[in-house]
Structure 1
Amino acid sequence: MEPFERARLDAYFCRIAARFTPAERPTSFLITHLLPERPAFVRGVARVTELRALLPKPKSVHAEALRQVESDGYACDRLTRELFGDPDRAVRYLDMRAAGRPVVLLDVGGYFAPSIEALCTRFTGRILGVVEDTENGHRRYADLDKLSCPVVSVARSPLKDPEDFLVEQSVVFSTEALMRGRGDILNGRAALVIGFGKLGSSIARLLHAKGVRVTVYDIDPVRRAQALSQGFTVAHDRAAGLGDAGLVLCATGALSLSAEDFPRLRNGAYVATVTSSEDELELAGLPDVYERTTIDEHVTRYLTTGHYFYLLNGGNAVNFLHGASVGPFIHLVQAEILAAIAALARGALDPGMHEAGPADRAAIATTWLDYFNR
């Protein structure tokens, strides 16, 4: 990022923070993809909260971005599912970092969800609420039997639509780039897209526009019907779709391929995901008879007698190989996260799922246009 771009971005977040900084700044814990543009957002969070710890998602840490946030003085802790999957451990962690403080938890993917009730009832401070950035995380909170605090989700915000549109393009771009590096192309290939939500449906359309024969599978029969109405072939079950696919793109945000699914892949098939391997793929359950060989920097061949397939980027989000850049549009939803923090700090939201209001979204979009529509 050029110096003038960095200055403009910091100025944008200063203006957003001036609008949304609460009268009493809460403490925050921030889970985030630590991509090259992310330090400016981290500084924005630190303007509206007392940022107690940054927890970068482990498979998306850019070395220079990490150096920047550490040089800015922000503590970086190691993020694992186990850290917040164990309520006792989660409570101890928050008490170590922010005992007695009012806290906002900024999430990407529902990491805090398994321990949220314990954090709300046993933490020595007070959980003001959670801000969730992804559809996967939105569902993890919405599926809980009871929410003990408010959760403001930006996953379905109209301000996130531009980001989602560009993420879909970057997924297809990165998948094709890795395949081309091995002399393969998308055109004429049969593909299976697992998951026909916002991301999966757009990826299916992009692949189709590139001359790919696309089959769709989704566990939701309503989405299967939607895919059929849009002209896609719809697999009756996952196994039926796997046999013919030269490319399998996993876009569920949950488990797409279990261990028993991998032997059903056709020989030479490529497998790519839009989220992390721990969410989409049961790689740990693969039989030891598969020999794993790195044949290109980001392509791993899984080989056993009579069967082989290729895994892209170790099963992690394939678009992160090329920065997962969506340009300045990411800053729309980042600003909405700051607005959500302010809403939680005011303390007027009941436990349950919430969204930002239209007035806040309009103000964010107006400010964004002032800085980036030039």
Structure 2
Amino acid sequence: MKPNIKPQNPNFSSGPCTKRPGYTLNSLNTDSLGRSHRSSIGKDRLKKAIDETSRLLNLPEGYKVGIVPGSDTGAMEMAMWSILGQRPVDVFAWESFGAGWASDVAKQLKLDNAQIVTAEYGQLPDFSKANPDHDVIFTWNGTTSGVKVENAEWISDQRTGLTICDATSAVFAMEIDWNKIDVATFSWQKVLGGEGAHGMLILSPRAVARLESYTPPWPLPKVFRLTNKGKLIDGIFKGATINTPSLLCVEDYLDALAWIESIGGLPAAIEKSQGNLQALVEFVQEHDWIDFLAQSPEICSNTSVCFQLKASDEQIKAMIKLLADEQVAFDIGAYKDAPSGLRIWCGATVEKADIVALLPWLTWAYNQVTA
């Protein structure tokens, strides 16, 4: 039978992700709007966003956080173009975005000393191929495959190369061993449900040392430049952004960070996301027509959860449309480059009650399109 209870919030998109519970535009501080980002209030709000990010993530001493243009993609491109080339590089890819970084290394930067290690959707590549003397690029969570790294134990503590991690759908949702990471990037519109266009760049002291001791052989656009005359442009990491940011988006991000603090900080956000995943795990265990794309439980994402179904591509498309028409689930189709299926975001801004309310609708819609 058709369920009679709908999710109060049907937004399950994997980016931009749903806003925090109780979000309203009226909750935003608007004092900085209409002011220059170089004004004292503009700099203060940008610095607060940086400082709160560092504090809530409990970053190690000496790590720097900067706000950069171009979302997570801009932050990753900035890091790769500014840092790579001194050493050989190992790129690990198992879904669309990781494949994009591998393509940039091979086809744009055209690095001859690159090793690209891949895996099929649902699996992880062989991390034992990581050379501690090489730079390493990987995604912590494969947003388009629903597969995350289990841990960072494969990264050597004695490495001489740098680890560059695309962590955009993992930061504020998964435990990250920051001592294993030299460069990390993420964006506001993922786990925190913030607005787009702004990226976050996290640098370890080792990454800063590389930037100040190595100049890549290719020209760098202005928005990629992290150094000036061989020194880190420190203002980027204190609120003096490279280009003009949206202070409205900054206020939106600060609101999300304040909400993380209010629920109990990073541990509470991780626990909430894992609890949402558990509801999906129990549903899969009870139904034989749906399964995780991830091939084992320990690598199953607790944010971008991807599913494969016993249904044709056309049936899955019809199911997605039916759920959207009923206004119970928006934007839950698999990523365009991924295997056909469903993708349900279950980060901390999603309420478990909404996940639970959605589940009977999945069964109903599946039965409707496969009858």
- Bigger strand fraction: 1
TM over 0.5, shorter chain: no
**Higher RCO, 1 or 2 (CA under 8 Å, sep at least 6)?**
2
- Bigger helix fraction: 1
